[in-house]
Structure 1
Amino acid sequence: MTEHSPTNPDVVSTVELGDGLSVSRMGLGAMAFSHVYGRSDPAEALQTINHAIDIGISFIDTADVYGEPRPGAEGPAGTNEELIAEVLRHRRDEVRLATKFGITGTVGGSAGGNSIRGDRDYVKSACEASLRRLGTDVIDLYYMHRRELDRPIEETVGAMAELVRDGKIRHIGLSEVTGDELRAAAAVHPVAAVQSEWSVWSRDVERHVVPAAIEVGAGFVPYSPLGRGFLTGTLTRESVANSMRAGQPRFDQNFEANQAVVTIVRSIADEIDATPAQTALAWLYSRGTRMGIPVVPIPGTRRATRIDENAASLSISLSDEQLTRLAGAADMAAGGRNLTFNGPQWISAGRE
């Protein structure tokens, strides 16, 4: 099989999400460089990030809660932002930087991971902390990572709007909001992007969230577009057990059953001389086009070769028949997309 591979270092073009925010058509999810998927090598991480920027993937997505907490530290770890700062020190002008606030504990199901704050004082202090760690004076896209459910979303977005006014951030983003929450937020300030899980096997956002994003003029940034690695067909039970996927029904108890989804993706990949990852990403781009919304997925990887592989999906076209077969994959998936150490309200589907 001959895999699609970019030959032009400037292969990745740009697209406008919403509110005038222009970013590369593919982003890089930085959480992959953190401990939730096992230990990573900081030197290799920096090499991978720099390579992504070299080929035009300039949209880097992190969060204050990503990274391995230092011993005795409380609150968001911040260590992933500090890693990104190493790149920004030399290449800030080349990067569209996105980070997030709101989760006050640690990622991966440890104590406090579900604690969320969206009050004005916290929004302001979280932003200042991220700016310090990132070594920059402005954040291009600042997301509310999760919503504090007993606080009106208008209050949180109002505080974010003050950050725009003060020049601390350029654009507002929201993660895992419902359609109604998005509309309420957009009435306070324009929303540039919505970030939620969206992929071949996770399509619940198409019911309400994507239509609302189109309505308010926001673009969509799908996280886990490769199903936390499952859709690539490369996961093993061992790799699942050594990551945050351990014990999760979709990856653990239903590991064998969900190979049926991978089989569909792989069969189409073979037909078009692509990899399963490229095929899954190409489906997502096609789906965004058909629904009428700019889509900028942020697959995470630790290797530069995977950056090239993922970027090549931008040149892949799928036939109507292939898209129809892929559309049936979501119905075959066993186990929900929410991680069980989070409550059902953690994702937008649990509040619709």
Structure 2
Amino acid sequence: MTTSSLWSVSGGPRQGLGLMRLRDPEPGSAPDPDRDPVGLVHAALDQGVTMLDTAEMYGNEALVGRAIAGRRDEVVLCSKFGVVWGTSGRFDDWSVHADAATVVRSCEASLRRLGVDVIDLYYLHHRCEQTPIEETVTAMAGLVEAGKIQAIGLSNVRIDDVRRAHAVHPVTALQEQWSLAANAAEGFLPMLAELGIALVAHSPLSHGQLTGKDAPSGVREALMGPAVRLGATPEQVALAWVHHQQSRHAQPIVPLPGATSIRHLRANIAAASIELTDSELNKLDDIAAV
């Protein structure tokens, strides 16, 4: 599967859905239709959000599999491998395993949990210091040849990693964070355009950091002006700014916001249609460059 068959500047998914926080309700908790995980996924599909993104690290692939059962042909299914939790329970206790045997074993396990025969886009979740990326991607290319995955993606890597990987097998997508608070992904764009690789912009709202009490100085103020004009929320304006980067750079860029409620999902979907003025975009650019 080539980049053009998944995304193009004029077509393809406008926005994906990050499923990192998708969880079954706590046992004994009161039913909440707005936060039902299967209902959330179905609401996304019903409104045209087809790219669903999970990972073995998230521990929810079986839930994702249940959610897409019966609707598999509507989904661009993405998962990631390589990051393994430690035993301490701390959020910073993890390591990366990306040797050839792990690639194959992780993919087989993900396919079982997801209940599918093929993963559309399979990412290396994080660069690995111990294993050359050529070994990792060679094993991933074997999965493509075997029909286990359709396309290869990379996440949390360096520019030279992408070039080395692409020399082994075409890379379809790079997933990196891009938001008003984290714009390092922009540095990849010239190389991605050269190689024909799409950018999937994860965490476009920076996990709530843009509009919370600890938001960077000036960010909320810069977002409020367009929000008032449009009758939108500051969060929607921040997400719209990321959406605008596709047309501004004339290459495939797909924002990947997460959501744990249908209400939040619908707000994110609406943000994809927000039109910001050049003046508003420039003011937000100034904030992003700080």
Flag the 1:112–1:173 CA change in 2: closer, same or farther, 3 A.
same
Distance 1:277 1:107 in 2: 35
Find the counterpart in structure 1 of residue 139 from structure 2.
Answer: 159
162, 182, 207: which one pairs with 1:202? 182
Amino acid at match of 2:166: A
CA shift, 1:64, in A, is 0.3
181, 193, 215: which one pairs with 2:194? 215
Flag the 1:121–1:214 CA change in 2: closer, same or farther, 3 A.
same
Distance 1:110 1:51 in 2: 33
Distance 2:106 2:220 in 1: 39
Contact persistence 1:19–1:171 (CA under 8 A): no
Find the counterpart in structure 2 of residue 280 from structure 1.
Answer: 238
Question: Unaligned 5+ residue runs, structure 2?
Answer: none
> What is the TM-score with the length of structure 2 in the denominator?
0.89
CA shift, 1:88, in A, is 2.1
Flag the 1:41–1:189 CA change in 2: closer, same or farther, 3 A.
farther
Matches within 5 A, 1:128-277: 128-207=108-187, 209-231=188-210, 233=211, 235=212, 255=214, 258=216, 260-277=218-235
CA shift, 1:202, in A, is 0.9
Identity percentage of aligned residues:
42
Contact persistence 1:180–1:212 (CA under 8 A): no
Residue 12 (structure 2) pairs with residue 26 (structure 1): no
Secondary structure at the residue paired with 1:28? Answer: strand
Map Cα deviations across residues 144-195 of structure 1 (whole Å, 9 max, x no partner).
Answer: 0001123221111111000000000000000012221111111111111100
164-173 or 41-50: which moved more?
41-50
Secondary structure at the residue paired with 1:267? Answer: helix
Secondary structure at the residue paired with 1:328? Answer: helix
Amino acid at match of 2:223: V
CA shift, 1:109, in A, is 7.0
CA shift, 1:112, in A, is 7.5
Matches within 5 A, 1:40-119: 44-66=36-58, 78=59, 80-105=60-85, 110=90, 113-119=93-99
Amino acid at match of 2:19: A
Find the counterpart in structure 2 of residue 8 from structure 1.
Answer: none
Distance 2:183 2:6 in 1: 25
Question: Unaligned 5+ residue runs, structure 1?
Answer: 1-15, 67-77, 237-254, 333-352
Contact persistence 2:23–2:63 (CA under 8 A): no
**Equivalent residue pairs, number:** 280
Contact persistence 1:282–1:317 (CA under 8 A): yes
Map Cα deviations across residues 315-346 of structure 1 (whole Å, 9 max, x no partner).
Answer: 221111111110111244xxxxxxxxxxxxxx
Amino acid at match of 2:110: S
CA shift, 1:107, in A, is 11
Contact persistence 1:200–1:329 (CA under 8 A): yes
